[in-house]
Structure 1
């Protein structure tokens, strides 16, 4: 894919392909997420969130690697005081991807390790190639995951499995990743991007506001208890009744049957 005119940084950029935004990591050979790449990632994610053309997002590292994680040489040179400040910046880049109010899928080829795995965890779904490897090896460097791994992984695969992976630092292949729920689909390596684009294009003409609301209710609810989560759901549910999409969806169902409404995102 050719970068769209709105490219701001070569390390990570957004290409709008129809109604799908491809958030592309492009820092060969391993898509290492140094500070410049983190800033570019955040900018591209914020652009994907606000671009009205984009209805779904694919996060893609390329045909051979998703991301091998942080720049260890850069981190090794940081003092404790420097990392205290940088940790918030690091998490902000990943949080920006997680906060995209649209369906997001990670398309994973090759290694997705450390920060690369944490980036994949920010997506709503993960499709990986048969040769992919995922893991959080930070403990082997004397640290822990610092971009959301200790929080997002247990919520995805359960605390016991997450602790085993984080404590051991071991990597898992595609088959095991699918078995434990770390990824949602495994496809041949040369089909990863196409499969992710098919996943995203299901939402090109869908009810954008309802999808946003569903993602908000789920993600916000996971961060609290059931009673608070139900209150969030009630509020978000009721809010949709002031939108044109709700009017179109319900009227389309009444007059033409399910799946016939045209949604505007208003």
Structure 2
């Protein structure tokens, strides 16, 4: 998407990579991030692994991917996966606050700032997603 994005994750689930790749990401205290592909006998190559590598770094992402251990909301904040942990009843109102600030800027400024901030994600997707996905599909 070529516009600023805010991810609001309202609890545990699977494949949080799109929300984690947003410009700003909020979650509730109940949220847990994990990738259990390896633990289930599959190659973790369909997207969550890229987010973990980009945001956690190579060593932390390797541990997360090999073990499938969950990262709770407090750890996610400490490790830089999310920007804020917000109570569930405040999640959407809180997400609207930075959205209002962003929308107050001129359209060109918003779009070009987003392009600058998303450049590392685009590089990673182009360079690495097909590689990981191919390995996951080959294994299955």
Which bin holds the TM-score, normalised by the shorter protein? 0.7 to 0.9
Aligned pair in 2 of structure 1 residues 218, 205: CA closer, same or farther (>3 Å)?
closer
Paired residues for 1:45-56 under 5 Å? none
Corresponding residue of 2:100: 201
Distance 2:28 2:53 in 1: 23
Corresponding residue of 1:180: 79
Match of 2:9 among 96, 103, 108: 108
Q: Which has the higher strand share?
A: 1
3-state DSSP class of the match of 1:200? helix
Instruction: Give the TM-score, by structure 1 length.
Output: 0.43
C-alpha distance after superposition, 1:122-147 (max 9, x if no partner): 31121011111111112122223343
1:121/1:149 contact within 8 Å kept: no
Paired residues for 1:72-221 under 5 Å? 100-113=1-14, 115=15, 117-220=16-119
User: Which stretches of structure 1, 4 residues or more, deviate above 6 A after TM superposition?
Assistant: none
Instruction: Give the TM-score, by structure 2 length.
Output: 0.77
Greater Cα radius of gyration, structure 1 or 2 = 1
Structure 1 unpaired stretches of 5+: 1-99, 225-266
Aligned pair in 2 of structure 1 residues 211, 177: CA closer, same or farther (>3 Å)?
same
Structure 2 unpaired stretches of 5+: 125-140
Distance 1:147 1:192 in 2: 27
RMSD of aligned alpha carbons: 1.9
C-alpha distance after superposition, 1:190-218 (max 9, x if no partner): 11111112121212231221222122233
